[in-house]
Structure formats: C-alpha cells, structure tokens
Amino acid sequence: MTVAQPGLHQAEPAAHHTEMPLLDHLRELRNRVVVCAGAVVLGSLVCFLIWERILGWLLAPGRVDHPELKVVSFSPTDRIGVVFKIGMYGGLALASPIIIYELLAFIVPGLTTRERRMILPTVASTFAFLLSGMAFAYWIVLPKSLGFLLSFGSGTIENQIGIDSYLSFVLKSIFWTGLSFELPIVMAIIAWVGIATWRQMLKFWRYAIVLILILACFVVPTPDPVDQGIVAVPLFGLYLLGIALARIVGKRRPQAEVPGV
C-alpha cells in the first residue's frame, strides 16, 4: 500500500501536471506552426530584397584562393532558383530563434515556472551555436574546401561552375556545419529528459571520435586530413562541452518520485 508522506514534493504546484485535451493540443500546434511559417516568410522576404548582396557574400569563400572565379548560368531558370534558395535558407536562418522557441514551448508544457525561465536562455544558446557553426563554415571550412577543389586538376580542366551547383554546395555546407555545432545543446537535452547521463556520454568517447571523423568527411568533401582535422577538433571540443552541460543539467533535473511502501 502506498502511503503519502506530508511535506514531500510540495515545491511546485500540481497545476503543471494537468493534461490538455487533444483538440487543444492540435490548436496549439496549429498556432505555433502558423507563427513559425510567418517568421520564415518574413525572413525570406528580407533575403529576397537583398539577394544580390547575399550572393556576393556566398561567392567570397570561393574567391579567397581564386579571385578570378566566375559562376555561369546553364538554364533560364537558374537565376530564379538562386533567388529561391537564398530566400529559403536565409528565411530559415533568420526565423530559427522563433522556430526554436515555439518548438520548445510546445514540447515542454509540463515544466515548472522555474524551469520555463530556462527556455529563453536555451533559445539564445541554440541560436549562438548555430551562428558559430555557420561562421566557422563560411570563414574556415569553405575557403579551404573550395580552394582545394577548384585547384585540383586546374592545369588540365578549366573551372566553369554553374551557379546552381555552386550555391547548393555552399549553402549545404553552411547549413549542416551550423547544425553540427548544436551538439552540446542536444546532449544537454538528452541528459535533461533522462535518456542518458553525462557518465554514459563520457564512456561513449571512442565511438564519438569515429562518428565525428565520419561527419568531418561529409562537412569537408576533400581527402586532405588536415582540412578534416580542422573540423573534427572543434566538433570533439563541442562533444566535451556537451558532457559538461549534461552534467550541469543532470544535477538540476528533478528526481523521479519513488512511491512509498
């Protein structure tokens, strides 16, 4: 027989554990999706207005080692595709803080008041890691990758790059590198929800190195181990940072209630 002990688990109000009806969940989900979609549309409109300037920024990494680099259009629709890609990726990047906030606010309705105060710092941290990864790709990864790829065989093969292919390569590199820098936040969330502890993550370090090296091969599509190491080392540092964050949030995670006997 379970006996409730007075004074235990009274720190937080029980109202947080009330369940919301399914229709209310669906309405909330719809409203949050509408907010996210509106933010992406607004961000895309901003990028559409300055797409030529953004395109100039995206061409800059390829011109670090090849200032003569020019891109060409192989199709009448290539230019429209360029504007669309810049608007789509740019809109997602600008709207990412709102998207992250709406996602967290939807999936963690049962948090206490004290825990809800951590949503905004979490959103800010997530956005900061995303920007750091994108900046790392833009100023470090892309100049080295494009410098190698455009120089390889240049004595025999002339560079004539389609704007669509170039832009896809650059945008995907920036996008995926930015996402890979979210590793510490993901690890902290895993520790918070109780999927794994920081000790388990630390024991996983050998496998983490292998996975990081594989990820570096995708982020830096060159066989040069030096360039891949430039990506792998920061990712492993982020893995260690994720363990530290997992340890911090693991200590603050509420302990599960154990029924009395």
Tokens 């209310």 belong to residue: 24
- Poorest-pLDDT segment among 60-69, 121-130, 182-191, 212-221: 212-221
Task: Specify whether the CB–CB gap between 162 and 74 falls below 8 A.
Answer: yes
pLDDT grade for 219, boundaries at 50, 70 and 90? confident
Higher confidence at residue 115 or residue 32? 32
**Percent of the residues in the chain that have a pLDDT greater than 70, as a whole number:** 85
Average pLDDT over residues 51-58: 95
Higher confidence at residue 161 or residue 7? 161
Amino acid identity at 50:
I
Check residue 49 and give its pLDDT: 95
CA nearest to 189, candidates 132, 246, 241: 246
Instruction: Kindly report the backbone phi and psi dihedral angles of residue 40, in degrees, each rounded to the nearest multiple of 5, phi listed first.
Output: -65, -40
Task: Specify whether the CB–CB gap between 227 and 196 falls below 8 A.
Answer: no
pLDDT grade for 233, boundaries at 50, 70 and 90? very high
pLDDT grade for 193, boundaries at 50, 70 and 90? confident
Tokens 């206490």 belong to residue: 112
Instruction: Kindly report the backbone phi and psi dihedral angles of residue 161, in degrees, each rounded to the nearest multiple of 5, phi listed first.
Output: -100, 130
Could you give the CA distance from residue 219 to residue 223 in angstroms, rounded to a whole number?
Answer: 12
Amino acid identity at 25:
H
Flag whether pLDDT at 261 surpasses 50. Answer: no
Residue-averaged pLDDT of the chain: 84
Check residue 260 and give its pLDDT: 39
Could you give the CA distance from residue 122 to residue 189 in angstroms, rounded to a whole number?
Answer: 10
Average pLDDT over residues 170-186: 91
- The rounded radius of gyration (Å) of the Cα atoms in the chain is 23
Flag whether pLDDT at 239 surpasses 90. Answer: yes
